[in-house]
Amino acid sequence: MSEAMPHTDTQTRNIRLTVAGVLLFILVVIFSFVHRMQQPRIMTTGEMKANGFYLLDTPRNFGEVQLVDHRGEPFTRAQLEGHWTFVFFGFTHCPDVCPTTMAFLNTLMQSLEGTEGEDTRVVMVTVDPARDTVEQLAQYVPFFNEDFIGVTGEFPDIYRFATALNAPFRKVPGQGEDYQVEHSANVVLINPKGDYHGFFRAPLDLGKMKGTYRSARALWDY
User: Can you name the residues that pair with 118 across neighbouring β-strands?
Assistant: none
Annotated binding site for Cu cation, which residues?
Answer: 94, 98, 183
Q: Is residue 4 part of a domain?
A: no
- Residue 34 amino acid letter: V
Task: Kindly report the pTM of this predicted structure.
Answer: 0.81
182 and 134 in a single domain? The answer is yes
Q: What is the pLDDT of residue 77?
A: 95
Query: Would the pLDDT of 214 be above 50?
Result: yes
Q: Is residue 205 part of a domain?
A: yes
Distance CA 172, CA 192 (A): 35
Query: Would the pLDDT of 42 be above 80?
Result: yes
Q: Is residue 132 part of a domain?
A: yes
128 and 30 in a single domain? The answer is no
Q: Is residue 98 part of a domain?
A: yes
- Binning the chain into helix, strand and coil, the percentages to the nearest 5 are 45, 20, 35
Annotated binding site, which residues?
Answer: 94, 98, 183
Distance CA 187, CA 132 (A): 20
18 and 104 in a single domain? The answer is no
DSSP, collapsed to helix, strand or coil, labels residue 169 as strand
32 and 121 in a single domain? The answer is no
- Number of domains, the chain: 2
14 and 69 in a single domain? The answer is no
Residue 14: pLDDT band (50, 70, 90) is: low
73 and 179 in a single domain? The answer is yes
- Three-state SS annotation for 1-57: CCCCCCCCHHHHHHHHHHHHHHHHHHHHHHHHHHHHHHCCCCCCHHHHHHCCEEEEE
Question: Which percentage of the chain shows pLDDT scores above 70?
Answer: 81
Domain of residue 30, residue span: 9-39
30 and 64 in a single domain? The answer is no
Residue 89 DSSP symbol? E
Q: Is residue 2 part of a domain?
A: no
Whole-number Cα distances in Å, 193 to 134, 144, 151, 189: 27, 26, 20, 11
29 and 126 in a single domain? The answer is no
